[in-house]
Chains A and B, each alone.
Chain A
Amino acid sequence: MRQPESPIVEFISKIGRALCFLGEILGNIASGRIRFKEVVRESYEQGLQSVIIIILTSFASGAVLALQGYVVLSRLGAKEYIAQLVALSLLREMSPVFTAIIFSAKAGARIAAELGAMNVNDQILATRTLGVDPMEYLVTPKFIACFLVLPILTIISEVVGIFGGYFIGVYEANIPGFSYMSHTINSIRYVDFLSGFAKVFFFSVLIGWICCYQGFFTRGGSSGVGKFTTRAVAFSIIFVILSNALLTKIILTIWQ
């Protein structure tokens, strides 16, 4: 009689299966098995679903940064540095991480729930019986769409966040608008933008991988869809935050 696997063996086999899953997606991309029509449809849906919430939260984040900065910097008599504080905080850290977290919660949840529902309703099996590879048709386009959409959403978040700070800087701290913008532009070096932006590509791979994997292997009927979707979002957010700490250290070591 075959015994059930031990937890360690099971954990290692799950890691192996997840890595094979990612390998299969990357293999499809590398060999050009990309369905552009599906990629466009997925990108549109993922982007459209997240953009409004990204705009709202980014504007609020920029405004809060400026408000807090105004209080602290006014004590030091340096309120004109609000623009730098807002721009650098957003570009280097806040926009990439916040956008990735919101994207996980919106688009990531959608990916996991959609694939999960398809799996429990035999639609993924049906794809195979119809002679079509579900990894190529259903998973790879979603993964590529994550990679395309998250960087665009991050740029939107950065621009809108800066305008949130501008709004507070000009109307609350009474900094002239022209002066605020020129401080913003002069404070941003390419390294500030790139050090934050580089992380976004890594986050997009993480989110796409985790959410597609959890959705693709969902089991347990409709309650399973809820369970695996929640797990996909939780894992995405945890890994985004943890990997951000590591990536920040690496990037700061390379680019001061």
Chain B
Amino acid sequence: MKTQIQNGRVIDPKHGLDKVQDVYIAEGRIVGLGTAPDGFRPDRVVDAKGLVVMPGLVDLAARLREPGFEHKATLQSEMHAAVAGGVTSLACPPDTDPPLDEPGLVEMLKHRARVLNLAPVYPLGALTSKLEGERLTEMAEVRDAGWVAFSQAERPVVDTEVLWRALQYAATFDFAVWLRPQDAFLGKAGVAHDGEVATRLGLPGIPSFAETIALATLLQLARATGTRLHLCRLSTAEGVEMVRKAKEEGLKVSCDVGAHHLHLSEMDLGYFDTHCNVMPPFRSLRDRDALREGVREGVIDAVCSDHTPLDEDVKQMPFGESEPGATGLELLLPLTLKWAQESKLPLVKALARVTCDPARILGIDAGHLGLNAVADVCVFDPEGWFKVSPETLKSQGKNTPFLGYELPGRVRYTFVAGHLCYEAA
């Protein structure tokens, strides 16, 4: 199948490209930009006039809910949501049930994803057995099972001795370790940022230093062990500063932020809106602004969806009993575009944070439109604003604080390895 995408504005952040031209795809790869290769005869021509043609998005955190949580969402529903959002590569945290701590489980997940023939899935392995923070998983044994990195998802390693050893062991084999900086004790009963709003609403708080204390520990251990450390879901201004310094020092660290954290703050909790119950919590406006600036400067490498589909039942509860998390795959591009517009950042720079930058962190050859690259392509309408509603979301989880918002960037076509996986109705 040969495809020609015509007259689109082609944006490829990795190569600094922003130009109206045609894209030629054959045998799953990009075979030409601007000029067709000799003898190219398209089987399909896609008219992209007025549309943006970009690499498919690479999402560093998408919970696909299998195995274990099929009642909340299924691999199938969420993979459809991914391509509907222009996402063509996904990393999945290991907090499934059972946790992804054995090669068999990872194999099965990858296989199930492959059968659907949508986007490739890159599972993160559990750093410790059952995520319990006590025993290391067999990291080296399974290097070929397709584990891209090791993570604890939402479960901090309580014992810093274990944490140290786990990082050492991972460093031995040059595995990356992805951790969300969160102290195991500080604010453990908390459900909201420890600040003015939580005080007013009477919600137990999670102080900012629950993040920065853990961050200090992780950075010290990364310095001591030389581990490649990826920090997940920063939420505080101080945290961004610490990562900036660590990078200046030359530590091998990278970090990401959830797309919703670029837009919302504690103020959005309103009257106990449980859709704003996310982890880490939405913090102050100052924190939110620091995150936005961090992404702009590149201190924060990537923006991810932190996709967590939930059923309405677990959100229709008192705030403190509701489950944290927001659905996000289909909002990753719109929220990134909204941030870019508001930050007055050119798309060719802004979109790096959802394409080539996360691909680099994942260590995969994706997220760009170079010649001979795998043809993962997202075509969207930059003027296509849409209202977020349960009906417009393909994900089984309709839980998002953005319900009712109008957002830019409706995806029109998504190609994965040259195969048209999604076409807007």
Are A and B a genuine interacting pair, yes or no?
A: no
Interface of A toward B, CB cutoff 8 Å: none
Interface of B toward A, CB cutoff 8 Å: none
